[in-house]
Structure 1
Amino acid sequence: MQFLSTRGGAPPASVGDAMRAGLAPDGGLYVPARFPAAGYDAVPRDAELATVAERVLAPFFAADPLAETLGDVCAEALDFPTPLTEAGDFHVLELFHGPTAAFKDVGARFLAACLARLAGEHERTVLVATSGDTGGAVAAAFNGRPGFRVVLLYPKGRVSDRQEAQLTAWGDNVLSLRVDGDFDDCQRMVKEAFGDAELRERACLTSANSISIGRLLPQMAYYAWAATRVFHATGKTPGFIIPSGNLGNSLACIWARHCGLPVGPIVLATNANETVGDFFAGGSWAPRPTVQTLATAMDVGNPSNMERLLHLAGSEAAARREARAVRVSDVEIRDAIAAGPKRYGRTWCPHTATAVRAWETLGHEALERPWVVVATAHPAKFEDVVEPLVGETVPLPPALAELMARPRNFVEIGPEFAGFAELLGESSRPDHDRVPLA
C-alpha cells in the first residue's frame, strides 16, 4: 500500500519509507491511500493482541519489505497485556501495563521494532516532543538499540514528577531536553527541524510523535481487539470514550472504524484546552495557546492529528460527524478520581478520569450500547494528584519503580528554534560523543 501526504505535495511512499521520514517532504502527515475493508471477520474471536495486529495491519504493509517480518514485529512489540475489564456499566480497556505504564508503549515499541529492521548504515536521530508519556515510552523503546539516538523535548513544569523521572532516566543514546515553554513549543520546534532540509538530512531525522504513521497504525489494533471482543459477547457495536490531547489515539480509533471494524460512536474526552471541544461544538478549527490542567498529557492547544482527520473527512462539517467531544474541567477530574474507588472499585489517572466523567454525561445513551472507556496511564504516575484524592498510596508498578530509582539527566533549553537547532546539529556530528547532561 502507498501512503500519501495530507498536503498533496509529496510523492507516495511505502509504509517503511513513511516511517523513516516521519514527516512528508512537503510538511504534511502521511496517511494511507485507502482503508482496506478488514471487517468483523478479520479478527478471530479469542486471538491475542499481537495476532490481531498482524491481521489488521497486513494490508497496510503489503509490498513493503517489512511485510515479511510483520508477525515478528507484532510479537516483539505487543508482548504485554491490554486487559478489557468491567467497571460498573462500562468496559475499561487498560493500556497501561507496558514498560512505562502508558498507552504510548504500544506505538513506540512497534515503531522501534519496525525501524530496527529498516536500519541503514547511518545513525538515525529519533526526534520526539512529549506532553508527558510519549517521551518516556520512546526512550524505553529505543534505549540501547544500535543505530539510533533519541532526542526528546518536554515542557518544564508541565509534566508530573514521575513523568519527568521517566523522561530523564536514560542517558546513553537518549538526550532529554527540558524546554522552558509548553508542549506546543516543543511540537513546533520538532516540526521546524523537519522543515529544515539541511538539518533533517545531516541528523538523519525521523519522528516518534503521533505524526509518525508507525505510531498510529498499531494503535488501531487494540481498538480492533477490544471492539470485536465486545461485539462477539454482546452482539452490539461498542462506543469508545478516549482521553484526547494530540488526537493520535482518537484518530486510530476512527481509522479502525473506516476499516469496517465494529466501532460505534467515538467520544473525545477533553480538558480545559478548548480547541477540540469548540471545533466539535460547531466552531471553525482555531488552534490556541495551551492551558495547564490536571490531565497534563492532554494539554495541547494545536493538536497535529487534526490535519489527518480533516484530510480523511474532506471538510470541517464531515470531520464533526466522525466523533464528538465532551469537555471535563479540573473540578470534574478531581471528583471522578475521588469517587473512583467507591463508585467503580478503581483508581483512575487524571486522563482516564476525563473519559469516566464523559461516560457519566451520556445519560440514557450509556445504556443503549456497550461502552469502552480507554484507560491511558497508570494512576501511580500522577501520585501528587491522585493520592490526596483517594486517601491512600497508589503502589508503583515494578518497571516504573525501577525507573524512579535512576538519576535524572537532562539539558534545559529555551523555546527558540535557533538554539535547539544548534544543539541538534552539534550532537549529530560524527565526532560528537555526548552532550553534557545537567
Structure 2
Amino acid sequence: MNFLSTRGQTPATSIDAALSAGLAPDGGLYVPESLPALPPQPAREDLADTAQAVLAPYFARSALRERLPELCRSAYAFAAPLRALSQPDDLLLELFHGPTAAFKDYAARFLAGALSALRAPDAPPTTIVVATSGDTGAAVAAAFHRRAGFRVLILYPDGRVSPRQAHGLGCWGDNVQACRVDGDFDDCQRLAKQALSDQALRAAVPLSSANSISLGRLLPQAAYYAHAAAQHHARSGTALNFIVPTGNLGNACAALVAQRMGLPIGEIRLATNANDTLPRYLDGADYAPQPTRATLANAMDVGAPSNYERLRYWFDGDASLRAAVHARSVDDDAITDTIRRAPQRHGIVPCPHTATGLRLLEDLRAQGDRRPWAVVATAHPAKFDSIVEPLVGHAVPPPRALAESLALPASASPLSADYAALRERLLASAG
C-alpha cells in the first residue's frame, strides 16, 4: 500500500517514509491510498492482538512487517477497558491507563518504537518537534525519553495548560526539552508545521513529528476503537456508537478509520469545547478557523484543527461530510455542570474533556436515543485537580505513574511565537 498527501503535490510513498517524515513535503498530511476492509474479526482479549490485526494491512510492505507484533505488545501494554456507567447502554471507553494518563500514550509509544526500528544505526539524531495543547507533549516525552538517536522539543502555550499538565511536560530532562510559547496552541502548531516544512532546516537538522498530523499517530489510535467495538458486538450482537471529545480531530479521524475498515461501529459523534470551528462548519457555515479560546477542556483548545484536511480528503464535498459527521460544542458552564453531576448521574468523576462527551450523551438520552453509546474518556481527572476537585467535593488521587512524574522537578524555557526563534533554537541544538 502507498500513502498520499492530502494536498496531492507529493509522490506516493511507503509507510516507512511517511512515518519518518511526519508531514508531507507539500505541507499536507499523509493518508493511505485506500482504507482496507477487514474481514469479520473475532473479539480478542488482548488489545495488542487487535492492534496487530488492524495495522497489518498498512505494514504489509514495510520493513517493520515482521516486528509489528513486538511493536504492538510494547505500545498496547496497558488496557483500554470498556466499562458500564450507571444507566443501561451508557458506556465509557477508558483510555487513560498509560504512563501519562491520557489516550495519546498508545500511539506515541507505537510511533517511538517504529521510528527507533527504522533508524539507521549511524544516522544523526532526529529531533521530534511536537506542539501540544496539554497531553500530547507528555505522551511523546514519555515514549521517547532516553531513547537513543532522538531528541524531543515540546511547544506548549504558556498559561493555557493545567499546572499538572505543565509539570508533565517539563519533568523529563535528558533528551527532552519543553518550551512555553507566548501564544496559543494554534501558534505552537503553526511553528511546528513551519519547521517541518522548512527543507533547508531539515537538511541541517533531521526532524520529524509526533503530533496527530503524523500517520504514526493516526493509524495506531484506530486499534482501541476496533477492540471496544468487537468486544461489544461479541457480547450484544449490536454495533457500538462512539462520542469522541476532540480538538485537533486526530482521535476522531482514527475512529472513522476503524469504522471504514468494517469494524462493528455505528454512529460517531464529536464533542468540542467552545472552540466551535468544526460544529459551525458541519451545521452549514463556511469552514472558517477562529482564534483559539481558552477553556476548561484545554487539551481541545484548537481553533484551526489540522486533521480537518484528512476529513475533507475522505469525503466527496461538504454535503457528504456533513451527512456523515456530526459535532456539537459544549461551553465551560455545561462542562462545569456535567462534572458536578457526574458522580450521581454516571457513577464516575470525569476530566473536563470527557465531560463534553458525557454532555452529548445526556442530550441524546433526553431526545429518546436508546442505542448503546460509548463516551471516550481521554484523560484521567487527576490531571485537572484544580478544576475537578472543587466541583466534586473531594480529592482525586493520581494514578501511580502520574504521581511519580509529579514528584520530579520540572522546568520549561520561554519561547516567542516567532518562527525565527524556533529555527534558531533547533539549529543550536544540532550544533
TM-score range normalised by the length of the shorter chain: over 0.9
The residue identity in structure 1 corresponding to 2:5 is S
State which drifts further: 230-239 or 108-117: 230-239
> Within 5 A, what are the aligned runs for 1:80-119?
80-89=78-87, 90-119=90-119
Q: Counterparts of 1:309-348 in structure 2 under 5 Å? A: 309-348=311-350
- 1:221 paired to 2:223: yes
Matches within 5 A, 1:181-192: 181-192=183-194
Partner of 1:434: none
| Paired position in structure 2 for 1:202 | 204
**Amino acid corresponding to residue 125 of structure 2 in structure 1:** E
1:280 to 279, 282, 299: 282
Structure 1 residues not aligned, in runs of 5+? 430-438
The amino acid of 2:220's aligned partner reads: P
Kept in 2, the 8 Å contact 1:216–1:248? The answer is: yes
Deviations 1:221-268 (A, max 9, x none): 000001111122222211100001000000000111111111111110
**1:19-38 equivalence runs, <5 A:** 19-38=19-38
**Offset at residue 366 of structure 1 (A):** 6.0
Does the aligned pair in 2 maintain the 1:5–1:31 contact within 8 Å? yes
Q: Give the match's secondary structure for 1:368.
A: coil
- 1:132 is paired with a residue of what secondary structure? coil
- What's the CA shift string for 1:328-368, capped at 9, x where partnerless? 11111011111111222100000000000011111366643
Q: What is the CA-CA distance between 1:409 and the residue it aligns to?
A: 2.1
Question: Which runs of 5 or more structure 2 residues have no equivalent in the other structure?
Answer: none
1:386 pairs with one of 388, 391, 397: 388
Which amino acid is the alignment partner of residue 201 of structure 1? A
Within 1, Cα distance between the matches of 2:323 and 2:180? Answer: 38
CA distance in 1, matches of 2:318, 2:47: 33
Contact persistence 2:44–2:227 (CA under 8 A): no
Partner amino acid, structure 1, of 2:59: F
| RMSD of aligned alpha carbons | 1.0
Q: Is the 8 A contact 1:230 1:370 kept in 2?
A: no
Per-residue CA deviation, residues 173-212 of structure 1 (Å, 9 max, x unaligned), is 0011100100000000001111211112221110000000
| Structure 1 residue identity aligned to 2:67 | T
- Does 2:53 align with 1:55? yes
Q: 1:295 aligns with which of 294, 297, 314?
A: 297
C-alpha separation in 2, matches of 1:201 and 1:309: 31
Aligned counterpart, 1:155: 157
1:298-325, Cα deviation, whole Å (9 max, x unpaired)? 0000000000010011312222223101
Give me the identity figure in percent.
53
Match of 1:436 in 2: none
Secondary structure of 2:365's aligned partner: coil
- 2:142 maps to 140
Could you tell me how far 1:46 is from its partner in structure 2?
3.3
Contact 2:44 2:50 in 1 (8 A): no
Aligned match for 1:397, one of 388, 392, 399 = 399
Q: What are the superposed Cα offsets for residues 52-98 of structure 1, whole Å, 9 maximum, x if unpaired?
A: 00011100001111111001000011101111101023110000000
TM-score by length of 1: 0.96
The one-character-per-residue Cα deviations of 1:3-24 (angstroms, maximum 9, x if unpaired) are 1000111111111110100000
Contact 1:359 1:366 in 2 (8 A): no
Distance 1:176 1:145 in 2: 17
Any idea what SS the aligned residue of 1:412 has? strand
Which residue in the other structure is 2:257 paired with?
255
Distance 1:344 1:191 in 2: 40
* Matched residue type, 1:124: T
For 1:60 and 1:116, the matched residues in 2 are separated by 18
Which of 44, 63, 83 aligns to 1:46? It is 44
Cα distance in structure 1, aligned partners of 2:164 and 2:111: 24
Question: In structure 2, the residue corresponding to 1:264 is in which secondary structure?
Answer: strand
Give, as a single letter, the amino acid of the residue that structure 1 aligns with 2:255.
C
Any conservation in 2 of the 1:327–1:358 contact (CA below 8 Å)? no
